[in-house]
Amino acid sequence: MISIKGLSKVFKTKDQDVQAVDNLDAVIESGEIFGVIGYSGAGKSTFIRLLNRLEDPSGGTIDIDNQEISSLSKKELRLARQEMGMIFQHFNLLWSRTVEENIAFPLEIAGMPKEERKKRVDELIELVGLTGRGSSYPSQLSGGQKQRVGIARSLANRPKVLLCDEATSALDPETTDSILDLLVDINAKLGLTIVLITHEMHVIRKICHRVAVMEGGRIVEEGDVLDVFLRPQEKVTKRFVDQVMGDPDREDSLNLIKEKYPVGEVAQFHFVGERTHQALISEVSRKFQVDVNVLHGKITQTQKGAYGTLIVHLEGEKEEIDRALEFVKETSVEVEVAPNV
Q: What residue ranges do the domains of the chain occupy?
A: 2-244, 250-337
Query: What is the pLDDT at residue 302?
Result: 77
Q: How far apart are CA 74 and CA 308, in angstroms?
A: 50
Question: What is the domain class of 2-244 according to CATH?
Answer: alpha beta
Question: In this structure, are residues 257 and 311 in contact, taking their beta carbons and an 8 Å threshold?
Answer: yes
Sorting pLDDT into bands at 50, 70 and 90, what band is 273? Answer: low
Question: In this structure, are residues 189 and 37 in contact, taking their beta carbons and an 8 Å threshold?
Answer: no
pLDDT at residue 341 greater than cutoff 60: no
Tell me what the pLDDT averaged over the chain comes to.
88
Query: What is the pLDDT at residue 71?
Result: 83
Superfamily of domain 250-337: ACT domain (3.30.70.260)
- Residues contacting residue 65 through CB under 8 Å, at least 6 positions apart: 1, 2, 83, 160
Query: What is the pLDDT at residue 303?
Result: 75
Query: What is the pLDDT at residue 340?
Result: 47
pLDDT at residue 247 greater than cutoff 60: no
pLDDT at residue 107 greater than cutoff 50: yes
Q: How far apart are CA 33 and CA 162, in angstroms?
A: 9
pLDDT at residue 228 greater than cutoff 80: yes
Sorting pLDDT into bands at 50, 70 and 90, what band is 276? Answer: low
Sorting pLDDT into bands at 50, 70 and 90, what band is 297? Answer: confident
Strand 265-272 relative to strand 305-316, pairing: antiparallel
